[in-house]
Each structure stands twice: as structure tokens, then as C-alpha cells.
Chains A and B, each alone.
Chain A
Amino acid sequence: MTSYRLQGRGRVDHGKPVNFTFDGKTYQGLAGDTLASALLANGVHLMGRSFKYHRPRGVVSAGSDEPNALMGTRRGPGRFEPNTRATIQEIREGLEAASQNRWPSLAFDMGAINDNLGSLFSAGFYYKTFMWPRAFWDRVYEPVIRNAAGLGVSPTEPDADSYASRFAHVDVLVVGAGPAGLAAALAAGRSGASVMLVDENAEVGGTLLSEPTVVIDGQPAWDWLAATVAELDGLANVQVMPRTTAIGYYHQNLVGLAQRLTDHLAAPPEGAPRERMWKVRAKEVVLAQGALEKPLVFDGNDRPGVMLASAAQTYLNRYGVKVGDRPAIVTAHDSAWHAAFDLAGAGAKPVVIVDMRASVDPALTDRAHALGIEALLGRTVTGTAGRLRVTSLRVNRMEGGKAGEPRDIGCDAVLMCGGWTPCLHLFSHTQGKLAWDEALQVYLPGRKTEAVQIAGAGRGLWSIAASLGDGANAGAAAARDVGLEAEAPVFGVAADRTGSGITLKELPTDRDPAKAKAFIDFQNDVTAKDIRLAVREGMRSIEHVKRYTTNGMATDQGKMSNINGLMIASDALGKAPPQVGLTTFRPPYSPTTFGTFAGYHQDATFEVTRKTPIDPWAEANGAVFEPVALWRRAWFFPKPGEDMHAAVGRECRGARASVGIFDASTLGKIEVVGPDAVTFMERMYTNPWAKLGVGRCRYGLLLGEDGFIRDDGVIGRIAEDRFHVTTTTGGAARVLNMMEDYLQTEWPDLKVWLTSTTEQWAVVALQGPNARKLLEPFVEGLDISAEAFPHMAVAECTVAGFPARLFRVSFTGELGFEVNVPARHGRALWETLWQAGQQYDICPYGTETMHVLRAEKGYIIVGQDTDGTLTPGDAGLTWAIGKAKPDFVGKRSLTRPDMVAKGRKQLVGLLTEDPKVVLQEGAQIVADPAQPKPMTMIGHVTSSYWSDALGRSIAMAVVVDGRERDGQTLHIPMPGGTITAKVVKSTAFLDPENRRLSA
């Protein structure tokens, strides 16, 4: 093991080495390490290149706020993730990690030329530079910028992992398992409340993991932590979930949690999902997210080896890793002094503590002297040196508010602390208001919108004692709010290291500030001078400054940069920080995989695929399927060697010559029942229903309030008070909702009820001249002769031994029947008719043939020939309007001036001049093909097929004043040339007298 690992120190398992690779080289860490801590233990600080300037970067934090140490991680094929935070990813045997944003190597990167050209890449660079010429944007600028931008590479293989999701309901959800969160969970858990305690780290404990010297209730911090976790684990009503990030806080205390399940395991159990999304509804939420340390803003504050002081403390105490032998500490807060003391205690030799403040607690300076650490107060830091690792720090005296003479101090790490920012991201998701605290120079939670408590450092409490007490109070209050008796436990804390500090803008320098690379946002490469430039160029609101500079717009959402950016902007504007404002945090709190959001919705369960009872037969008989809404429907049934055109032609001939069999089960069905059923039907549909006799059917047309066609279908009257309504396949749910809406809001007085029966019935359609001959022997209790059971009749009877509703209807223009039987019998009925139909060369057909057959008759398909802007008049369906009816949905709209004006598009037939040419559906139609472009388009083709029965192509189209154009020649310009076609005002191409269907 290297000299950076301290034997016996930290919470890592010194007896369990773990091998992993970084940029192809094998390293050894210990069980319990993160990628970052393991690399630091090996003396590796250089972990990435920055986004814009390609500057060499080292790890800067030890948590989820890490902006620099973002890596690609891999576990075999299909298991690659870009931008994994090395500070969060635990090492496992065989983990492959690789640095990003560098070429050809991390140590030597060509893109770093951007760094020298930094003065070109100022804030707003893209907006200013790529304005002109406009035509260059699409072809040159955008592709080049896109190629250069972005961090990491997207995975190229399908994700081989699976993901899970889970709902949960708890009394109290505690977010953050540091001192405040643990105390809250204890208080609430002991009261009997159901508690979920979540923490994004691999281990609960928060600050306590980095502060082992604190004594709680007489126990060393880690002993107290172990006892507390044991107590919580022992409570059946408490669930403790590490590796679980609360990513979003939504209305009514719904919190989204992303739980990492297998990324830390060398060999995940079979069937285990990689991550799980929890959707937790909590009666009370306790936010104990703690505080985030801010960097100090000075030239060269991003050099590898420069990191947050608290991070160094965490690497030391939690992971047993020294981040350097000779660290220099630069700070504006007491907390970094303790980091220096801890490092000194572990054998490092801190070379200097530089505090920006002119005076600090003498106890700190005394301790520094005792440990032999030079302490410099009232100084500024103006630079660092070192190529791929910091080698020295440039420190200046402050003289009359200005930086004086510099002094270079050699070091191998710089630990900085610019104070602490309460982490209020989740609180911000709830639209809770933040209030600026002048004394602490931080934003604290203000007005709340949810049943939430904020505890600990999240509301500006800077000690473990205060956080424990505050958490205990919050947990007890939450438990009481859900109606339980609860007491806040009291903790005795010794050796607590409280502290205070100041909040600064960028540090003063004796050099040209315009040349300083003093970073605020490390992930987006935003410097202090970028913020000042934005203000000079007129940005006044922090929202504008943010977008102009991209400060805080990286995936870390400004966890480190927000307040530093605000302090500099407010200084430049000469306004107090609260007057400049704060940007809004949005979910997710930290980057979350798409897989976690998708959950189970991948592969076969990506979306529901609805299948009919007859679907298995279609599959067994070689059907090709097409999706129709959520259904999959048999599209056509090709025989060996047949293409779609040949199969559809044969199916059409089969149905017209003898008999075809079709699965119509997906049609929407609604049972309308009650004494007011006929009144309801009169009001909903355009057609008259009062005189429709029991046992008869009618084509029904449904409009919206706007008078446009919404749906259609054949409707049968089963009894005086009972209608069997059919809808389009895709419209079933929509029509039922629309009907319910009218019933509940407009006509609650009507005694009528709606029940969806779509799936109660399987529907087998027999269409063709031999349909009756085939069906008749199977029908019991009904005479289906042409006289007794004419077109548009319906009756209940028995078919092939199954109870049935038999409709004599036709969507093909042929003699046709639709047999409805309870769904469980659908396949048996189909197979019975199929067997018996062999004597008639029965032909199964799919939706494509159904479309052709109906188009030959000019029957419309709502949603294909209509698009939500066609009235019954436009579609040539005024015959379906009950003109004597006092009202129906959409009636009033039909008389509005625009709806009866000339110039509306009307549905007509189109016959191409060349009968062999089949028009393309959606093709645009013009009157004069010689006119200059852009041409005036007067309509488009809605349906177009080859008609085997007619021996030519047929089409339907909507055309301006189409019916007046009967006989006119129109033009359809296509890439290969213009096609001419003649308008026919009737779309009934075949058997317009309806002789066949009346047979």
C-alpha cells in the first residue's frame, strides 16, 4: 500500500483489498473506498479535464457535489455509464473507470489549447461569435459546438441492466442521515411512527463519519453511531436506506428517491435491478440535508491537489487517506483549521494556514502554533503553481484593503474553505421561500408550503450538538403532527468543534484580475471575471447572469458555485445579495439515470400491448401485426412467398368472392342502459334514435362541442332502455370519458349509465356473399334469412353454442355479420367458423384489407380521413344528422358562419389519370402545377389503395370546395414528378347502389 493510506485509520476494511482499473491501469483500494478515495490513496489527484478549457482537474469534494472527478465506469457490455461521480461510486472488484474529455491522454490533452485561448471564450462567447452568417449555424457552428461540447460519451449499446420502482407510504420521511437526520429518525421511530431514513452515501452517519473525535452521550462518535444504527435497525417501524438519494420533492409530500442497488457489488444477485425509484408519500418530511462547503475564489483554485478542506478531512478520517504530506490551508471559516489539525495529527505536515480574516479565535492559532503550523491572518491568496498537481501557493499580505507583496509557499495540496451553504435544494423544489440571513450570510428556509421540518445545518446550525438537538426536535414534532406522543431525546456532546466564518467574493489580487482563472463553477468552467463581464454587459438579475455565464447550469446545479456567483454579482451590481436574488433548484437533486426513471418500462413491458382472444390464432397462422392504439392487430396474413400487396389483393378477392373472416374484437363497446338511454343517445350523437326499433342498428356520428367529427360506429338497440354502442378502436376510452363528462356535468338528471364492454365481447366478422350460408347452421333461436334479419339488424341468440349478440352489419359493402360472444369463447367461435368455412374457401383478412374494402365503398375512418377539423358536411355525412332534433353535441357550432362558408375542405374521391399509380397518403394537392413555389396547397390525400375489385387505384382526399370540383383535374406534385388525378364527388367507388350488402 502507498504512503497516502494510513494503516488502521478510517472506516475502510484494511483486510480487504479491491482491484480496479483507471484509464487502463490497475490500482488497489480497500473495501469501503470510493473511486476518489482509492485513487487518492494511490497518490492520483488528476482525475479529469474540465468541460470548456480542458484544464487538468483533481477531485475537489468527497460527496455528490463533485464537479471535477466525473468518469466513465463500465461493467462489461451494455453496462457503461458516463459522468459517474468518483466521490460517490464505491469501488468493487473489476470496476473499470476512465477519465473523460481528454485526447489523447489525461496527462496530455490537445483540447487544453482552449485554456490558452481563454480570453476568446468569455461569457456569452457563443451568443456573440456564432451570430453571423445565419446560414452557418445549422451546417457549421452547431455541429462543431455540439461535437466539442458535452461531457463524457453516451453509451452506444442497449442498457443490459434492469431497473425497478416501488411506492411507499410512511408517517415520517427523513432525508439525510447525519446527526440531525439520525436524531430525527430516533425521535420519530421511538414514538412508533413509520419512518424511512434515507442517505445518498454508502453509509449513514453524515458528518459523524468524518468527525470521529466527537463524543456523544459519553461514547466516541462512531460507537454512538453504531449503537444508533443498531437501535434504528431494531425498530420494525423504521427503514434505514443508504445509497438512496432524494432527488425530487413534489406536491403533497411526494418525494422521489433513487436507490443504487448493485453498482457497488462485484457480483450482483441474479435478477437484481441496478437501481430503484421510490415514490414515497410521507405525512411529514424532515429535511436534514446538511450544508455544502464553498470553495474560495482565487486564481488557480482548480489545480489538481486543490480541494475543499472538509473533503480532505473526510478522506483522512473516513477513508484513512492523506491527500498530501505538506498541505496548505486557505480559509475564511474556522472549520478548515480543524481539518489542518486532524491532518497534523495523522502525520502530515501542514505548511501554513492562511485565513482571510484579520483575527480568529486565539484557541485556533494557539493550537496551530503547538502543532508547528504557520498561521497567517488577514491575507489573500493570488495564485497556485504546478502543472498536473499543485506545487506552491501564492499568498499576499492585505495592505489598506489591497493585496500587497506576494510570497510563494511550497505545498502538495491546498485545502480551501469559503464557508458553508445550507443545502436547501429539496426545500426549494416545494416552492418554499428562502430568506437571506444577514448575520450568517446564507439563505435559510423561510415560508413552507408542505408538511416539512428542516433540521440541522440546513437551517444554519454549525455544530453537531446543535444539529442533534434540532434533529431530535424536528423528529418529535413530525411524530406529534401525525398524532403520536413523542419526546425529543437529549444528547450530551463533548469535543464538538463549532465554528464560524465569513462569506466572501473572489479574493483580492495584486495581478490583473482580467487574467485570473479564479473558478466559481468548476463543472462549467465559469470564473469570477465571467460574472463581472455579464454584469458589465447589462445582466441585472441573477437568472440572467446564470444563463449568460452558465454559472450553476451544470449537472451539479451550482451546489458549490451558487453563493459565490451571487456574492460576486451583488458586488458588481452594488446591491445586497437578496436584492440580486437566487436561482431556483429543480429536480433531480443529483444526476439520475434514465433507467431509474423508466423503471420496468423496457423491452416487453415498455408499454402495454393489448391482444384480442383471437390474437394467438393469428400469430399461429402467420399474421403480420400492426399497432392500433395500444392494441396489436393482424394487419395481413401473407402466404409463403407473398408480399403485402399480393396478400392484401388475395384477401380482398376472397372476401368479395366468397367469405372473409376478420377479428373485430378491438372495436370499442359501451353499454348505455337506463330509462333515459334514448334521450342520452339523442343528445350525444347527431343521428335520431327515438324511432330506432329494438333489434335495429344505425350508424352513429359523434361530434365535439365544436361541431367537428370525433368518432363513429354502429349502434344497436338491444332493448328499449339498452343500446350497444361501438366506437373506433382508438377512440374507445376517449368516447367513454366524453360521455361520462356530459352525463356528470351537463345532464346529471338523466337516469342512464355507461359501462365499457369492449373486452367483454370477442367479435368475429364474416363478410362476403357466402357469409350467411356459413353462419346459418350455427345460429340457434334466430332466423337470419335476408327477410327476417335484414341489413342493420341486431339480435341476441346462440351461435355455435355460445351466447351471442349477432349484428348484421357491413364495413366492406358485402353481406356481413358480426358475431359478439363472451371473450373466453372468442377463439373457439373463430376456429369453428374457420373449419366450417373451408368449404367456402374462407379467407382470414387483416386490417389492411379491411381498409381497402371500406375505401372501395367510400366509408371513412375517423382519424384517417378526418383530422379533427371536418364537420359532417365536410365529410359528406349530413344524412347522418337528425335535422328535427332540438339539440345534440356540436349542433350549434354547425351553423356558425365559418362552418357553412365556402372554401372549406371537403372529402372527395380522387382517381389518378394513370390507374396504376397509387397516390401517397398525406400527399399535398395543388390546382396548378405550373405556379411558382411555394405553391398554394388546396388539400391532401387521406386514404389511397390499390383496388383489386376495380382493377385500379382509388383515393380519398380533402380538397377546398371539393364537391364543386367534380370532374376537375388536380395535381399532386411528388419528388419524382407531378401526378394528375380527377375529382369524383362520391367516394362510393364500388357498388354505389348497395346491392351486395343487401343480399
Chain B
Amino acid sequence: MTATTDPGVTVTELPPPTRITLRVADPTGQPLPTRIGAIEGCALCLGPDEWLLEGDAAADLVAGLPGPYSAVEVSDREITYLLEGPAVLDLLATGCPRDLASMPVGAGARTVYDTAQVVLVREANDRFRLTVWRSFAPHVRALFDIAMREIAAGL
């Protein structure tokens, strides 16, 4: 048996930040990015009228909106993993059909990993945050573990 090597990527579960799903009919003039996938401040634009707000500033942002809007707290709905290392794109390519190599740093996307819906944010060239519904997280995590063994095996 050939010795296995370092998979070149680590997966770490992060503590949950405040997360709010924000829906706004008209974002004109609001501190919200309008290009899907763009991030401004705490807001990631997921759709033409949908944002994911993360972090301590989320509540303040909502409080400043004139309305009508829908803000629903989903901090506990999801688990976030930090994926980091030179092999991070290989790891994600085991289950995500998107072309992540072309995703700019500082952008995000709602996509799928295997059969689970996930939100990805590219924090650096070799660092992503992946957010997935709580009950799907163990499945995604198990697939990451399999994929890391596979990458370490070097084939």
C-alpha cells in the first residue's frame, strides 16, 4: 500500500453567526448589492429580491429598511463550514456542478453540493465558506471526509 498524503484541504465547522433571510420588493437606494452573487457589507445577494444577511450588523441593516420587506431569522437553520487549502476546488468539485474556479474572491452563490442546497462564499483563492441546512450537514461532511481521503490517495 502506498502511503497516503495530506489532502491539502481542511474542513472546520464555524460557530453560527446571526443569519437573516431578507426579501425586499425594491432595493433601490438601500445598502444592498443588486448583482446576484455580490456581497456588500453583511449582505449577499442570492436573487433579484433575496439577500442573506450575516453577522452582527444584520439586525441594524434590517432596522434601517423602509419596507415593505420580510426579515426572517435563520441563524439556527444552517451550519457553516470553512473549507481551506490548495485542494479546496477539487474538494468542492466532487459535488458542486458550478464552475467555482471562475468565481471571484468576495463573491457568493447559492448552489448545490451533492443533493444538498448550499450557499458558498469565496473568501480567498483557496478559502470558501459553505453554509448548508442543519440536517443535511452531516451528509455533506461525510462526503467531504470521503473526498479528502480520495484526494490524499492521489489518484
- Please list the residues of chain A having a beta carbon within 8 angstroms of any beta carbon in chain B: 162, 164-169, 261-262, 267-273, 279, 281, 600, 604-605, 608-613, 630-631, 671, 673-675, 751-753, 755-761, 822-824
In angstroms, Cα B147 to Cα A671, docked, is 36
In angstroms, Cα B135 to Cα A267, docked, is 38
Does the CB pair B101–A600 fall under 8 Å?
no
- Please list the residues of chain B having a beta carbon within 8 angstroms of any beta carbon in chain A: 1-4, 16, 21, 23, 25, 49, 68-78, 90, 93-99, 101-102, 114-116, 133-136, 138-139, 142-143, 146-147, 149-150, 152-155
A753 proximity list for chain B (CB < 8 A): 23, 49, 69-70
In angstroms, Cα B106 to Cα A583, docked, is 51
Does the CB pair B143–A757 fall under 8 Å?
no
In angstroms, Cα B78 to Cα A270, docked, is 33
**Smallest Cβ-Cβ distance to B138: which chain A residue:** A611
Beyond A604-B142, A610-B135, whether A267 also contacts B1 by CB under 8 A is yes
CB distance from A737 to the nearest CB of B (A): 13
Does the CB pair A169–B102 fall under 8 Å?
yes
Main secondary structure of the interface of A (DSSP, over half): loop
Does the CB pair B76–A759 fall under 8 Å?
yes
**Smallest Cβ-Cβ distance to B132: which chain A residue:** A759
**Smallest Cβ-Cβ distance to B92: which chain A residue:** A167
CB within 8 A of B93: which of A166, A605, A673? Answer: A166
B136 proximity list for chain A (CB < 8 A): 608, 610
CB distance from A72 to the nearest CB of B (A): 24
CB distance from B78 to the nearest CB of A (A): 7
In angstroms, Cα B142 to Cα A399, docked, is 73
Between A and B, 6 residue pairs with Cβ closer than 8 Å are: A167-B93, A268-B153, A281-B97, A600-B114, A608-B135, A759-B135
CB distance from B44 to the nearest CB of A (A): 15
**Smallest Cβ-Cβ distance to B149: which chain A residue:** A271
**Smallest Cβ-Cβ distance to A169: which chain B residue:** B99
In angstroms, Cα B77 to Cα A759, docked, is 5
CB within 8 A of A168: which of B76, B93, B149? Answer: B93
B133 proximity list for chain A (CB < 8 A): 759
CB distance from B32 to the nearest CB of A (A): 15
Does the CB pair B70–A752 fall under 8 Å?
yes
Does the CB pair A273–B76 fall under 8 Å?
no
Does the CB pair B2–A611 fall under 8 Å?
no
CB within 8 A of B150: which of A272, A604, A630? Answer: A272
Does the CB pair A271–B153 fall under 8 Å?
yes
In angstroms, Cα B93 to Cα A671, docked, is 33
Q: Which residue of A164, A169, A760 has the most chain B CB atoms within 10 A of its CB atom?
A: A760
CB within 8 A of A824: which of B3, B16, B68? Answer: B16
CB distance from A255 to the nearest CB of B (A): 13
Does the CB pair A271–B97 fall under 8 Å?
no
CB within 8 A of B99: which of A281, A610, A751? Answer: A281
Does the CB pair A272–B25 fall under 8 Å?
no
**Smallest Cβ-Cβ distance to B16: which chain A residue:** A824
CB distance from A253 to the nearest CB of B (A): 13
Does the CB pair A608–B4 fall under 8 Å?
no
Does the CB pair B139–A608 fall under 8 Å?
yes
Beyond A631-B135, A755-B74, A822-B76, whether A270 also contacts B97 by CB under 8 A is no
Beyond A166-B94, A755-B21, whether A273 also contacts B150 by CB under 8 A is yes
Beyond A169-B101, A608-B115, whether A671 also contacts B72 by CB under 8 A is yes
A612 proximity list for chain B (CB < 8 A): 135
In angstroms, Cα B74 to Cα A273, docked, is 37
B25 proximity list for chain A (CB < 8 A): 751
CB distance from A567 to the nearest CB of B (A): 43
Beyond A169-B99, A169-B102, A279-B97, whether A760 also contacts B135 by CB under 8 A is no
8 smallest A-B Cβ distances: which pairs? A753-B23, A610-B135, A753-B70, A673-B70, A271-B149, A169-B99, A272-B153, A269-B2
In angstroms, Cα B150 to Cα A262, docked, is 12
Does the CB pair A673–B72 fall under 8 Å?
yes
CB distance from A15 to the nearest CB of B (A): 22
Does the CB pair B76–A760 fall under 8 Å?
yes
Does the CB pair B76–A823 fall under 8 Å?
yes
Does the CB pair A162–B146 fall under 8 Å?
yes
Beyond A167-B93, A759-B78, A824-B76, whether A270 also contacts B2 by CB under 8 A is yes
Does the CB pair A600–B94 fall under 8 Å?
yes
CB distance from A741 to the nearest CB of B (A): 15
A267-B2, A755-B72, A822-B75 given; name 13 further pairs at CB < 8 Å: A166-B93, A166-B94, A261-B155, A269-B154, A600-B143, A600-B147, A610-B135, A610-B136, A752-B70, A753-B23, A759-B135, A760-B73, A760-B74
A605 proximity list for chain B (CB < 8 A): 139, 142-143, 146
In angstroms, Cα B15 to Cα A818, docked, is 27
In angstroms, Cα B21 to Cα A630, docked, is 24
B4 proximity list for chain A (CB < 8 A): 269-271
Q: Which residue of B23, B70, B138, B146 has the most chain A CB atoms within 10 A of its CB atom?
A: B70
A262 proximity list for chain B (CB < 8 A): 155
**Smallest Cβ-Cβ distance to B152: which chain A residue:** A271
